[in-house]
Every structure is written in C-alpha cells, then in structure tokens.
Amino acid sequence: MKVIIFISIFGVAFANLVENGLDNKENLTAVQEAFINHGIDTKLPHLPPNKLIVHYDTDTKVNLGTELSFDKVLKAPNVIFEAEPEAHYTLIMIDVDSPTREKPFFGELLIWKVVNIPGSKLQKGETIAEYSAHAPWKKGSSHRYVVLLFKQHQKQVFSDRFQSAFHSFHHRIGFSSVKFSMKYRLGRPIAGNFFQLKHDDSFRNELLRHHH
C-alpha cells in the first residue's frame, strides 16, 4: 500500500513538473517565437502568448526586440492591453542580463512592478516598485528588458515593498519572476514584450540627474 501511495504521489509531482516546465515548442505564437529567437526562453520557463503594446512616446514603440537608447526610457512607458473589467492584473519589467549578458550572475534586475491593476487601468494599480530606468553598466552585448503581464485570481495583498527607484537598487538585484509568480499564484504570463539597450558612457550622469 505504501508503495502504491508513493508511486501515486510521484506521478502527480512528475505531472506538475511537466506542466510547469518549459513551454512546448509546438504551436507557438509569433510573440513566443520572438522571445525564443532572442534567447529569452532560456531565462523564463513560460513565454507570454500575446503581445503587450508598450511605448515611451509616440515615436518610441517597443516591438519584440527593438533597440532603444537610454535617453528614451527614463520615464515609465505607456502599456496597453485587453483586460476583463472586473479582473486584476500584475505588470513587471525586468532586465534579464544583469550585470552583463555574457555573465548574468546577478540574475534578474527588477525595473518596475505594479500590482492589483483594475482591468486595463494601469495608472490605478498599486506600484510596489517604482519604475527605475537602468542601462548596462559595462560594455558588451545589449541587455534585454522584458515586460510581463499576469492575470491575478483576485485582488490581494503583496508583502514585498521597495523604496524609491534610485535608493532600492541593491534590493532589486536577484529578483526572480518565477518565484514571485509562484509566491502569489499568478500562473503564467498572459502577455509580454521586450526591448534592448546598449551600454552608454553618458548614462550614469543622466541617471543621477533624473533621480535628483
């Protein structure tokens, strides 16, 4: 009996592991294919099937790998998505290449986090981590900045808080979108987009000026 119970439990655990593993490479959407083509599938276990509309201004639109300059991303972008009016959503932005794309031993760097967004009204959501513009500190390959949208089961309390964008940098290093999603039972991201930034020698002074 114990053996049968053990096998049964193991079977359920294995099924959950398969369910929560990397997305099946068949029947991918164009958005998921773009994430894979830019190597982001090695960073995230689940890829968003739908595209978020993200733009910093009318001339700076994010389109699945767009190369942007740091001066264009100093302020939080506008994000547009279809939503159920009575549902709540979570939006996060992460740099998946910290400190460098070649050696990303810091893990993810949290750029922005807004939770309990009522419907598609991002401005009425609860900002847990203020938008913090960052560009690669070191020369090398471009960093990939990923924006992900999750649908919440319900409005809920999020315990993790951050200080202002500038003074909470060391708390944002090592963020894990997977652990965050599991902690609050957010499931898989339902939509996403991403852009790329290169190192810019002038960005440190510009960042300090912006935050002060």
Per-residue pLDDT tens for 157-177? 998 776 555 555 677 888 999
Range in 44-48, 98-102, 208-212 the model is least confident about = 208-212
Kindly report, residue by residue over 4-40, the tens digit of the pLDDT.
433 333 343 333 433 444 556 678 999 999 999 999 9
Kindly report, residue by residue over 113-157, the tens digit of the pLDDT.
999 999 999 999 999 999 988 877 776 678 999 999 999 999 999
Task: Report if residue 54 sits inside a domain.
Answer: yes
Q: Which of 179, 190, 178, 123 is CA-nearest to residue 152? A: 190
- Spatial separation of the C-alpha atoms in residues 176 and 194, rounded to whole Å: 17
Model pLDDT, residue 171:
76
pLDDT band of 106, cuts 50, 70, 90: confident
CB 28 within 8 A of CB 48: no
Model pLDDT, residue 10:
36
Task: Report if residue 1 sits inside a domain.
Answer: no
Model pLDDT, residue 19:
42
CB 169 within 8 A of CB 98: no
Q: 149: which 2 tokens?
A: 């949208």
Model pLDDT, residue 199:
76
Task: Report if residue 38 sits inside a domain.
Answer: yes
Kindly report, residue by residue over 59-97, the tens digit of the pLDDT.
899 999 999 988 899 899 999 999 999 999 999 999 999
Model pLDDT, residue 121:
97
Kindly report, residue by residue over 95-105, the tens digit of the pLDDT.
999 888 888 88
* Owner of token pair 């999020």: 158
Task: Report if residue 17 sits inside a domain.
Answer: no
Average pLDDT, the chain: 82
CA atoms within 13 A on the CB side of 69: 7
Residue 22's beta-bridge partner residues? none
Model pLDDT, residue 164:
54
By the 10 Å C-beta count (0-12 exposed, 13-18 middle, 19+ buried), 97 is classed as buried
pLDDT band of 41, cuts 50, 70, 90: very high
Task: Report if residue 136 sits inside a domain.
Answer: yes
CATH number at residue 192: 3.90.280.10
Q: How many domains are there within the chain?
A: 1
User: Who's near 90: CB < 8 A, 6+ residues apart?
Assistant: 113, 114, 115, 116, 117, 149, 150, 152, 184, 186
Task: Report if residue 19 sits inside a domain.
Answer: no
Task: Report if residue 205 sits inside a domain.
Answer: yes
Task: Report if residue 11 sits inside a domain.
Answer: no
Q: Which domain holds residue 197?
A: 27-211
